């Protein structure tokens, strides 16, 4: 069984489909997407559509990112709508047609609402952004899990390795600190979308031009 983690997608559906074709997800795989499915890139609607389909094909774990937080808040609080649009929400709404939040279908809101705060395995845990190293995962503040960038992260009290996104690796390569791996490799800014096979360190990367490349941590 493979454990595959995918970094911040940000509406880059061409890169996502290129990754999917190269990796060929299997029913025995556990696929963990780290959040930020929406905003900034060209086709957030297609990205969510694909995740909904993928749930019936593999063991899919979908985490929540700060951009899902903003989108959900914009639905409930009109005053936040313009703030979200300025942070990439305008591109998301355009992918649904006329740019109106009412065009987002119920199934997509259900998908967003069902996203998880974190996911934990025997040796690794997965979050969108960061953690307080001294707190158990269940006690992590939302502000840290969804919003805080990593700078010089300390090992987590659990002793487990953290796999995260959110902190953009502008050079396009995953960041491997041993106890922390960050796989946000700037997909929407002409960078790469990364899919990491967690147990082997092999990773695939694709971009919005449909190019694909492969590497290994370390």
Distance CA 11, CA 45 (A): 7
User: pLDDT, tens digit, for every residue of 198-213?
Assistant: 999 999 999 999 999 9
Is residue 164 within a helix (H) or strand (E), and if so which, with residue range?
Answer: strand 161-164
What confidence score (pLDDT) does residue 126 get?
99
- Cβ atoms of 10 and 41 within 8 Å: the answer is yes
Cα angle 61, 34, 55; round to 5: 30
Helical spans, DSSP H, in the chain: 13-23, 44-54, 66-76, 78-84, 90-94, 106-114, 142-147
Reported confidence tier of residue 218, pLDDT bands at 50, 70, 90: confident
- Cβ atoms of 33 and 60 within 8 Å: the answer is yes
User: pLDDT, tens digit, for every residue of 76-126?
Assistant: 998 999 999 999 999 999 999 989 999 999 999 999 999 999 999 999 999
Reported confidence tier of residue 147, pLDDT bands at 50, 70, 90: very high
Distance CA 191, CA 207 (A): 6
Instruction: Extract the tokens encoding 182.
Output: 């960050």
What confidence score (pLDDT) does residue 72 get?
98
What is the share, in percent, of the chain residues with pLDDT greater than 70? Answer: 100
HEC string of 68-105 equals: HHHHHHHHHCHHHHHHHHHHHHHHHHHCCCCCCHHHCC
Instruction: Extract the tokens encoding 184.
Output: 């946000």
């Amino acid at each position: 069984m493979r454990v595959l983690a995918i970094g911040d997608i940000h509406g880059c559906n061409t890169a996502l489909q290129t990754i999917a074709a190269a990796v060929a997800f299997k029913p025995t795989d556990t696929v963990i997407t780290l959040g930020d499915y929406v905003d900034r890139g060209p086709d957030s609607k297609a990205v969510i559509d694909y995740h909904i389909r993928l749930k019936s094909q593999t063991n899919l774990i979908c985490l929540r990112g700060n951009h899902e937080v903003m989108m959900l808040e914009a639905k409930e609080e009109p005053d936040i709508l313009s703030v979200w649009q300025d942070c990439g929400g305008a591109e998301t709404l355009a992918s649904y047609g006329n740019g109106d939040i009412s065009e987002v279908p119920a199934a997509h809101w259900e998908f967003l609402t069902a996203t998880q705060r974190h996911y934990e395995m025997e040796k690794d845990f997965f979050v969108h952004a960061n953690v307080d190293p001294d707190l158990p995962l269940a006690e992590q503040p939302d502000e840290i899990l969804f919003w805080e960038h990593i700078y010089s992260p300390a090992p987590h009290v659990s002793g487990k390795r953290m796999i995260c996104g959110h902190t953009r690796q502008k050079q396009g390569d995953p960041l491997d600190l041993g106890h922390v791996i960050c796989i946000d490799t700037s997909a929407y800014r002409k960078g790469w979308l990364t899919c990491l096979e967690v147990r082997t360190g092999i990773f695939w990367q694709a971009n919005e031009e449909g190019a694909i490349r492969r590497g290994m941590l370390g």
